[in-house]
Every structure is written in structure tokens, then in C-alpha cells.
Structure 1
Amino acid sequence: MKAIRLKLYQNMVNYKKPTSFQLKETYPLPPYSTIIGMIHNLCGFEKYKEMDISVQGKYFSKVNDLYTRYEFKNGMKYDKTRHQIKSGDYGVGRGISTAELLVDVDLMIHIIPKEEKLIDYIYRSFKSPREYPSLGRREDLAVINEVKLVELKEEELEEDIILPENNSAYIPISLYENEAINIGGTGKVNSNGTKYKINKNYELVNHGSKKNPKVFRKWNKIEVIYSSRISALEDESILVDEDDNIVFLA
């Protein structure tokens, strides 16, 4: 099985949690949906292409940064005592808020499109990108340190494989429960880590009528455990690439 392996570096980045507002919190690694969005943008895909993603990496620290925030209420007329901006007859509030940023992020991402014929196209799109890639917010630029086509194989390990020091990963619950992965200790599987439900892709669902549609995104969420100190256990079967990097596909 072939995959595209990316190694990316980002100086400061926010992978926004959808439920955070006053403080724009960040996930510790980019969600699958964010990575898939970057791929579709660089490749120029206009329709969704199914793919599996594995992501692991590390960051050095976190900081908080201020940004300008705009607020408005649908249909609220401009009131000079409460609004800073007038847009036509309507008012917009402008203030400041705080964003949480990760510093010095290193990522390793594996990409396996469902259509095998897309592998070379995605590889070329990252090898010679049409624009500077960003991952997270639009301004969160990503430096591509490696783009490589790799072979993946599932093999029974002769010895433990341990993630590099300080590296973390999203481990799908289905992979975690088969006891091939050990987290944060010795022996069989431990439960050290944080559970997330990470967005991957969505379908458009109409909750209205055909005449009066109310279309919303219904997200497919992947339940994962985020953790460091990860190892694949001896005598267990696990998916690895040709350089013996563990692959956590979702």
C-alpha cells in the first residue's frame, strides 16, 4: 500500500476548537478535516476525495496572542453608542480577543487517498505547490521539509517501536482497543491520554423542506486518544511505513 508522507514545520499556529469563542483554543495537532482541507486546496479538488490520514508530531510551547474580533447580530441597526462600525444601516462591534498558539510545531502526516490514481497527483501538488501551504488559519503557513512516497505494510513486530521523544499522535479508538499500542507505561495497554472527537469530513443535510431548505453540515467525527510516550508492542501486528514509523490511519 502506497502513501504520501509529509514532514511539516510551523512557527506559530492555531488549530481552532469549534466550541471555543472568547479564548480561541487550539487542538494539540491539526484535526483530520483541517489536513484534508489543505490537501484539497493545494490539489485544486472541487469535490471531496475520500482519504485516510495519520498525524503525529510535537510542539515546543504555547502562548496567547491578541486578535481583532468583529461581532454583529442579524438585523440589528447601527447604534453609535454600541457599534464601532457602520455597514449600510447595520452595526458591527469591534473589539479584541485572545487566541492560543502553538510554537515550533513539527508534524509527520501520512495520506492515503481512496483512489490510488490520486497518489502521484497529490505528491506532485506538495512537491511543487501552486501557493504557499497553510494549515490551521489562513495565516498559519507551513514549511514543507519532506514529501515522500512510502510503502506501508502491516507486520508482526520483532521488537517494540517507540515514537520519538516528546512526539504525540491521534490514535483512533479502534486501533487502541486491539491492544497493539501501549501508551505511557510498560506492559499491556494503559489509559494515559486525552479523548477527542475529531472532525474528518461532512455531508450536507437538509433539515427544512424542498421549497424552504435549511442545509447544515453533518460531521463525521473520529474518536481518538491523544497521547505521547507511545509504543507499538512486540509480537503485535501494526501498520508501519518503510522507515518503521507507526501509522495511525483514520
Structure 2
Amino acid sequence: MECLKFELFSPCTTFKTPFSLKGIETYPLPTYSTIVGLLYTALGEKWKGEEFLISVQGTYETVFRDYIRLRKYNRKDEELEVLPLEVPRLYKMYCVIHTVGSSLEKFKKALESPSLYLSFGGGEYPLLVKNPRLLGAEEKYWEGELRYNAYVPKSRKSSLYGEGIYFRIPSFYQVIDGERVWKWEEVYYFQKGTTFEGKLWVDEEGDVLWL
């Protein structure tokens, strides 16, 4: 099987959870939908419904709390409110991404020479894409320890020792009656150093694809 592999680095970023209202919370790694958006931003094209597999792993040095002033319009009182808001930031975010599916060569070229400045958070957090490359991957028995924190699909959870932290993360969407309806994937977040064993997809550089 062929896969596209690349690394991402951001000095500081936040991946806002969907139900963060009065306070902001962050996912520990970019969601699948974030990676889809990144790839199509690099292409300079709109997503047209294609689906593919994504593996997300990564690390960060620490989380710190930033404070901002949030301007919010109060419709009831018809006035602009200014509220203090705490925002968690992931410091020195490094990710290893794999994708499997069609258009891998096209995505590779787009990441090497993107159509736009790439970032997380709609331009707020600068992003460096490193070494996009096409690699072979083989399904085989493999054991070891996680090199990075990882989103592990529910179907692969039994390969790891430990419980992990359960998340539902967005991936692709459908437009129904003019509204985006997201597909939510069930994953478990496991930390670097967790022991695993089982029949898994492994790339030719020795990294597991958590698909």
C-alpha cells in the first residue's frame, strides 16, 4: 500500500473543541478535518466529497494559558460586550501525518509548493510543512512503544496496553438541507511510550499508521 507522509510544526496552536463556549478547550492533536482542510488549502481547491484515510500522531512541549478579550454582540441588549477569555495553547506542536487514498501525488506536490500561506486556526498560527514523501506501507505483526502521542481508531484500540482518552473528532461532512453535517470518528488518544502489539500497517521508515 502507498501512503503520503509528512511532518508539521507550529510554534503555538489551538485546536478548538466544538462545544467550547464560555471557555475554550483544545484537542491534543489536529483533527482529521483539520488535515483535510490543510491539504485542500495547499491545493487551492474546494473539497468535493473525496474521502481518504488519515493517521495523526504528534507531540508538544507543554500547554500554557493565554488570555484574550472577546468581543461579543449581545442581541438582547443590542450592545457589544467585551469579555475576558482563557485560551489553551499547545507550545511547539510537532505532528507526523499519513494519508492513504487517491490523489497522493497531487497532495504531495501541493504541500511542496502550496497555493497559499499555510497555517492552523485560519491564519492565526504559522505552520511549517516538512518533507512530504510517498512511501510504501505493509500490514504485518509489529510491537513496540508509541514514538508520539496518537489518535487510535476504536477498531485498533485492542492493539495497545491501556485505556487511552476517548474523543469524537470530525473528519468529513455532507451538506444536507444547506447545512454541513459532520461525520464524527471515535478515537482514543494514547500518549508517547504506550506499549502496543498486533497486526498493523507500518511504513518503510518504521512508523505505524493508525488507520
TM > 0.5: yes
The 8 Å contact of residues 232 and 246 in structure 1, kept in 2 or not, is answered as no
From 227, 237, 240, give the equivalent of 2:199. 237
Percentage identity across paired residues of the two chains: 26
The 8 Å contact of residues 59 and 104 in structure 1, kept in 2 or not, is answered as yes
The 8 Å contact of residues 23 and 100 in structure 1, kept in 2 or not, is answered as no
From 148, 152, 163, give the equivalent of 2:146. 163
Q: Which has the higher strand share?
A: 2
Counterpart secondary structure, 1:72 = strand
Q: Structure 1: 5+ residue runs without aligned partners?
A: 84-91, 184-189, 207-214
The 8 Å contact of residues 59 and 103 in structure 1, kept in 2 or not, is answered as yes
Tell me the distance in 2 between the aligned counterparts of 1:231 and 1:137.
36
Tell me the distance in 2 between the aligned counterparts of 1:248 and 1:137.
27
Structure 1 moving runs of 4+ over 2 Å: 92-96, 135-138, 229-232
Counterpart secondary structure, 1:36 = helix
From 162, 166, 169, give the equivalent of 1:198. 169
Q: Cα distance, 1:137 vs. partner?
A: 4.2
Q: Which residue number in structure 2 is paired with residue 216 of structure 1? A: 179
Q: Looking at CA atoms only, which structure, 1 or 2, has the larger radius of gyration? A: 1
The 8 Å contact of residues 44 and 116 in structure 2, kept in 1 or not, is answered as no
Q: Deviations over 1:19-63 (max 9, x none)?
A: 112221110001111111111111122223212110001111111
The 8 Å contact of residues 6 and 96 in structure 2, kept in 1 or not, is answered as yes
Q: Structure 2: 5+ residue runs without aligned partners?
A: none
Tell me the distance in 1 between the aligned counterparts of 2:121 and 2:30.
7
Q: Cα distance, 1:72 vs. partner?
A: 2.1
Q: Across the two proteins, how many residue pairs are aligned to each other?
A: 209
* Shift in CA distance, 197/225, structure 1 to aligned 2, threshold 3 Å: same
Tell me the distance in 2 between the aligned counterparts of 1:203 and 1:217.
6
Q: Which residue number in structure 2 is paired with residue 105 of structure 1? A: 93
Report the TM-score, using the length of structure 2 for normalisation. 0.91
Report the TM-score, using the length of structure 1 for normalisation. 0.78
Q: Which residue number in structure 1 is paired with residue 118 of structure 2? A: 133
Q: Which residue number in structure 2 is paired with residue 210 of structure 1? A: none
The 8 Å contact of residues 41 and 115 in structure 2, kept in 1 or not, is answered as no
Q: Cα distance, 1:73 vs. partner?
A: 4.5
Counterpart secondary structure, 1:11 = strand
The 8 Å contact of residues 15 and 137 in structure 1, kept in 2 or not, is answered as no
Tell me the distance in 2 between the aligned counterparts of 1:101 and 1:195.
21
Counterpart secondary structure, 1:24 = coil
